[in-house]
Structure 1
Amino acid sequence: MIVADFHVHSTFSVDGMSTMEQHCIMAMQKGIKKICFTEHVDYNIAEYNVGKVKDNRKQNFNINEYFNEIERLNTLYYPSIEILSGIEFSEPHLFKDEFEYYSSLPFDYILASIHHCYNGVFPGKANIEEGQAMKEYYSLMKESLEYCLCQGIAHLDFPRRYFDSWEIEENMLSDILLTIIKKDIALEVNTSSVNENCVEPLPSFSVIERYQSMGGKKIILGSDAHDCKNLGNAFEETMKRLPRGLNPGYIKGRKFMSL
């Protein structure tokens, strides 16, 4: 059993549905021993470029309240559960000043992701051909990985949620996986897609196998739960299907720890 869920959103995220404390109580009921609140840090490039966002740091959650709540809950519930801090920063290579600011804060875990492709449009709302979507998404992912200093990369083939089929351009994928391995970044196995639109995690098992074949070992499981009922979603089933020899772990103090 995996005892750490390292991709969780509370009501500090704009789309969060459960408070930190609700998540912690549910996690303890499910036997989860470690949880990381990776709250969204998102900016929309289209609005950013036309000056609609005046003070970008104020577009996201209250940082002082966030850290105070983690401290309060650790005082209440540790050692039954350990609560760690994190952010999920979207498109860090496009918002370098903001990324440097958030990186200077004492988060345990910096998780990079791509959400807004196609000039700032969310993949699920974009009227775009699948092949074009794939190329743009992976191009942004590669730029992001080459720029930022992060410990994890979220839902590597994220747009697969929105397309019936999702063919991967082999050279682009290999370049991205090689960058992840060279920079010692952990590959997130995101289970939010399991039992939803597809039966595999993000990335797919074939991508995880490719990662391992290239020398990658570090993985981190995350449910991407926005509602506490989804904590640890499909962890056991997913672990049974992962190739042997991987190193599941978590991040504390921006260092990978094996479970």
Structure 2
Amino acid sequence: MNEFVDMHVHSKFSIDGMSTMEDYCLIAGKTGTRVICFTEHVDFNSAEKNLSIVKDNRKQNFVVDDYFREINRLRKKYGSLTLLSGIEFSEPSLFPEEFALYSSYPFDCITAGIHHCYNSVFPGAGNLSVSKAIYEYYQIMQKTVELGGFQVLAHLDFPKLFFDKWVIDDDVLDMILSTMIDKNILLEVNTSSLNDSCDEPMPSYSVINRYVQLGGNKIVIGSDAHSSDRLSGHFRDVVPRLPNRIQIGYFRERKFIPVLMD
């Protein structure tokens, strides 16, 4: 890739973000990053703690107007960077009304992520067995991709961060990937797992290859950084291992824009 495009970054507009948007802009040149998408968390699941009340006891973690005001300020200040707006919405199939509301804002890219199971973040999962927890996780994921209305699905095999033995049935995987392809939902290659004990991104290379075999030909790549020092983390290791037939890109105004690769 001539210059990196990081499509999954969290600033302090996310409840767990540790760096400001401007912190990322200041370090972008050192990391070879040209495009940054600030995909701030939007969570309505009751497992999320310490989030600000908005209405009807629903909770969320950033004020949209403040977010757009800041990103527009930085776009003017750092004209050499492409700063994209986005959200990472958790479990949209469980909160369709809230999802529709946030989708109405002019975000460049909407990413869906599955983080919770039975009102618990992994590894708790309500004291479920590993197999049951993973089954329920992918049931929610399948309903999410069937709902559609977003551009990117984040960290498909997220449970592998919490369970020593992670297995997804081939038929279930194929159903999810095929539905994504039919609905023009792109697979995200998330490199944050390489910060931990994993030796592969999320999803694994085998899942990425299966996505290509089923007809997927576009992806985005994201660091899932929550601090600026993780911007475009591990991209130099991961990008060369991606299938040759796949196109990396980003979304502007929810339209896919390809980027060149070396």
Q: TM-score, normalised by structure 1?
A: 0.93
CA contact (8 A) 2:93 2:144 kept: yes
Higher relative strand content = 2
Deviation per CA, 1:154-190: give whole Å up to 9, x if none. 0001111011121111111000000010011111000
Match of 1:69 in 2: 70
Match of 1:223 in 2: 223
Report the Cα offset of residue 135 of structure 1.
0.9
CA contact (8 A) 1:8 1:226 kept: yes
Report the Cα offset of residue 58 of structure 1.
5.5
Match of 1:111 in 2: 111
User: For 1:16-55, what aligned pairs fall within 5 Å after superposition?
Assistant: 16-45=17-46, 54-55=55-56
In 2: Cα distance, 1:56 partner to 1:243 partner: 45
CA contact (8 A) 1:109 1:254 kept: yes
Cα gap change, 1:65 to 1:211, in 2 (>3 Å):
same
CA contact (8 A) 2:44 2:58 kept: no
Instruction: Give the letter aligned to residue 149 of structure 1.
Output: G
SS of equivalent to 1:194: helix
In 2: Cα distance, 1:195 partner to 1:83 partner: 24
In 1: Cα distance, 2:220 partner to 2:63 partner: 26
In 2: Cα distance, 1:57 partner to 1:71 partner: 27
CA contact (8 A) 1:109 1:251 kept: yes
Match of 2:6 in 1: 5
Match of 2:134 in 1: 134
CA contact (8 A) 2:12 2:18 kept: yes
SS of equivalent to 1:64: helix
Match of 2:196 in 1: 196
- Give the number of equivalent residue pairs: 253
Cα gap change, 1:55 to 1:134, in 2 (>3 Å):
same
Instruction: Give the letter aligned to residue 163 of structure 1.
Output: F
Report the Cα offset of residue 57 of structure 1.
6.1
CA contact (8 A) 1:57 1:98 kept: no
CA contact (8 A) 2:148 2:185 kept: no
- Report the identity percentage: 53
In 2: Cα distance, 1:10 partner to 1:55 partner: 26
User: For 1:143-222, what aligned pairs fall within 5 Å after superposition?
Assistant: 143-222=143-222
Match of 2:121 in 1: 122
Deviation per CA, 1:60-110: give whole Å up to 9, x if none. 2011110010000010001x2111100000000111111010000010000
Report the Cα offset of residue 54 of structure 1.
4.5
Report the Cα offset of residue 59 of structure 1.
2.5
In 1: Cα distance, 2:33 partner to 2:57 partner: 34
Cα gap change, 1:148 to 1:242, in 2 (>3 Å):
same
Instruction: Give the letter aligned to residue 31 of structure 2.
Output: K
Report the Cα offset of residue 144 of structure 1.
0.7
In 1: Cα distance, 2:183 partner to 2:87 partner: 19
Report the Cα offset of residue 235 of structure 1.
0.5
Cα gap change, 1:165 to 1:92, in 2 (>3 Å):
same
Q: TM-score, normalised by structure 2?
A: 0.92
In 2: Cα distance, 1:244 partner to 1:56 partner: 48
CA contact (8 A) 1:4 1:35 kept: yes
Q: Show structure 2 runs of 5+ residues with no match.
A: none
Cα gap change, 1:173 to 1:61, in 2 (>3 Å):
same
In 1: Cα distance, 2:242 partner to 2:47 partner: 38
SS of equivalent to 1:248: strand
Quote the RMSD (CA, aligned, Å).
1.6
Deviation per CA, 1:37-73: give whole Å up to 9, x if none. 00000011579xxxx9853666320111100100000
SS of equivalent to 1:244: coil
In 1: Cα distance, 2:103 partner to 2:57 partner: 15
CA contact (8 A) 1:187 1:219 kept: yes
CA contact (8 A) 2:111 2:152 kept: yes
